Amino acid sequence: MDIPVPRLSYEDLRSRADEILAAHHPSRQIPVPIEQIVEFGFDVTIIPLPGLKDNHEVDAFMSRDRHTMYADNAMLEHRSPNRYRFSLAHELGHIVLHQEAFEALSFDSAAQWRRVMQLMSEPDRQALEWQAYCFAGLILVPRNPLQVLLTNAVQVAKGAGFSFTGNNLEVAKGYISNSLGKCFHVSSQVIEKRLDRDGLWPPK
């Protein structure tokens, strides 16, 4: 099944994320209030759904009309705010990037959504999810605050005795990513991906 998924570059995704932040969170203060942006900026109702992850292997999914977002209730019950925030940002990516794709699909439930994803061609599915994943990281971790906090974190790490040469570079990266993740309220993996994709690691 082929659907109209746009082929967007990483820089295209950065531009779209920057547009959303400029319109709905111009201060770029962190952590980015992603729940408020989704609910009030895009008129989306967020509904916790028990068993979504266990039964359908998805953390969240959008309704076809993109006005209702269903999120696995366990993310809230088990207090996984970073996972919840990233799921909201990921689904927001589908809202702003994939309108034509969603309009071409037919589904009314989590089970049908999963089935649609399975029937989708591999290039389309990969593009759809890669774009939403990158968009989520870009909107939750704005570039300017990331650069400023990275510079500070590098100095702190050096002061704590971390080395930025050879095999020690990855150890320092893990330490800094964990520290920055706490600032942005995202996982350390999200920070690591941003550092790599934005050419910010190793630090100059």
pTM above 0.75, yes or no: yes
What does each of the 204 residues of the chain score in pLDDT, given as a tens digit?
Answer: 667 788 899 999 999 999 999 999 999 999 999 999 999 999 999 999 888 888 888 889 888 788 899 999 888 777 678 999 999 999 999 999 988 877 777 777 778 878 877 777 888 889 889 999 999 999 999 999 999 999 999 999 999 889 888 888 999 999 999 999 999 999 999 999 999 999 999 988
Phi and psi, residue 142, nearest 5°: -60, 145
Using the 8-state DSSP alphabet, how is residue 43 labeled?
-
Q: Can you name the CATH fold of 10-140?
A: Arc Repressor Mutant, subunit A (1.10.10)
Q: Give me the residue spans of the domains in the chain.
A: 10-140, 143-197
E strand residue ranges, 3-90: 45-49, 60-62, 68-72
Report how far Cα 10 is from the mean position of its chain's Cα atoms.
13
Tell me how crowded residue 44 is: count the other CB atoms within 10 A of its CB.
Answer: 21
Rounded Cα–Cα distance for residues 164 and 173 (Å)? 9
Q: Cis ω on the peptide bond leading into residue 26 (within 30° of 0)? A: no
